[in-house]
Amino acid sequence: MGTQTTVVILAAGKGTRMKSTRPKVLSPLCGKSLLGWVLAQAEALDPDRIVLVIGHGGEAVEAEARALLPDRDLRFVVQEPQLGTGHAVQVAAGELEGSERVVVLYGDMALLRAESLQELVEEQIQAGVGSIAMMTACSLDPTGYGRVLRGAEGGFAAIVEERDCTDEQRLVDEVNTGVYCFDGAALRTDLPQLSSENAQSEYYITDLPGMAVEAGRPVITVDLDLEESLGVNTLSQLAEVRWAMQMRILEEHMDAGVLIEDPASTYIDAGVSIGAGTRILPCTVIRSGVVIGTGCEVGPFSHLRVGTQLAPGAEVGNFTECKNAILGAGTKAKHLSYLGDAEVGAGTNIGAGTIFANYDGQAKHLTRVGDGVFVGSGTTIVAPNEVPDGATTGAGAVLTRDSGMAPGEVWVGVPARKMRPSDGTGAN
Per-residue pLDDT tens over the stretch 79-105: 998 899 999 999 999 999 999 999 999
Closest CA to 200 of 32, 320, 329, 84: 84
Residues in the chain where the model's pLDDT stays below 70: 1-3, 421-428
Dihedral over Cα of 63, 65, 71, 73: its sign: negative
399 contacts 418 by C-beta, under 8 angstroms: no
- Separation CA 373–CA 391 (nearest Å): 5
The phi-psi region of residue 354 (left if phi > 0; otherwise alpha if psi is between -120 and 50; otherwise beta) is beta
Beta bridge partners of 291: 273, 309
Question: What kind of fold does domain 256-418 have according to CATH?
Answer: UDP N-Acetylglucosamine Acyltransferase; domain 1 (2.160.10)
The Cα–Cα gap between 232 and 15 comes to 8
* pLDDT the model gives residue 16: 80
Residues with catalytic function: 335
Cβ–Cβ under 8 Å, residues 259 and 249: no
Contact 79, 61 (CB under 8 A): no
| 3 state SS of 340 | strand
Closest CA to 238 of 32, 382, 404: 32
Q: What is the pLDDT of residue 3?
A: 56
Question: Which listed CATH number (3.40.47.10, 3.40.50.720, 3.90.550.10, 3.40.50.2000) goes with 5-229?
Answer: 3.90.550.10
Whole-number Å distance between alpha carbons of 348 and 256: 28
Alpha-carbon distance of 196 to 198, in angstroms, equals: 6
Listed in sequence order, the residues at least 6 apart from 38 whose beta carbon sits closer than 8 Å to its beta carbon are 9, 11, 25, 105, 106, 107, 108, 109, 110, 112
Res 144: pLDDT = 83
pLDDT at residue 14 in the model: 77
Around 131, how many Cα atoms within 13 Å sit in the side-chain half-sphere?
A: 17
- CA dihedral (425, 338, 315, 399) in degrees, to 10, reads -30
Rounded CA separation 395/411 (Å): 10
How many CB atoms sit inside 10 A of residue 189's CB?
A: 13
At how many degrees (to 10) do helices 34-44 and 58-68 cross?
50
Closest CA to 270 of 93, 17, 36, 20: 36
For the chain, give every domain's residue range.
5-229, 256-418
